[in-house]
Amino acid sequence: MQRSDFLPGVASFSGGWRVISLLESARAHNIAVIHQIPQSFKPAWWCRSGHAQTIWAATLRVMPSVPLKREQWETPDGDFLNIDRVSAKVGQPTLIVLHGLEGSSATTHVRGFLRAAFDLGWQGLGVNFRSCGGEPNRLRRFYHGGETTDLHWIIERLSKQDPNALIFCVGISLGGNVLLKYLGEQADGAPAQLRAAAAISTPFDLAASAHAFEKDSFNRIYMRRLVRSLKQKAFHKLKRYPDLADHRRLAAVRTIVEFDEVVTAPLNGFADAKSYWQASSSKRFLASIRRPALLINAMDDPLVPADSLPRQEEVAKNPRLSALFTEAGGHVGFVAGEWPNQPLFWAQESAIYFLTEHMKSA
Residue pair 162/282 in contact (Cβ under 8 Å)? The answer is no
288 is annotated as an active-site residue: no
Question: CB neighbours of 286 closer than 8 A, spacing ≥ 6?
Answer: 180, 184, 204, 310, 314, 315, 318, 321
Other CB atoms within 10 A of residue 196 CB: 25
- Which one from 21, 104, 173, 308 is the annotated catalytic residue? 173
Active site residue 301: yes
Selecting among 99, 144, 331, 358, the annotated active-site residue is: 331
Burial level of 266, CB count in 10 A (0-12/13-18/19+)?
middle
Among the listed residues 301, 308, 322, 358, the single catalytic one is 301
In the DSSP assignment, the letter for residue 11 is S
131 Rama class: left (phi>0) / alpha (psi -120 to 50) / beta: left
- 3-state secondary structure at position 333: coil
Q: How many CA atoms lie within 13 A of 308 on its CB side?
A: 26
User: Known catalytic residue: 173?
Assistant: yes
Cα(173)–Cα(297) distance, integer angstroms: 9
Active site residues: 173, 301, 331
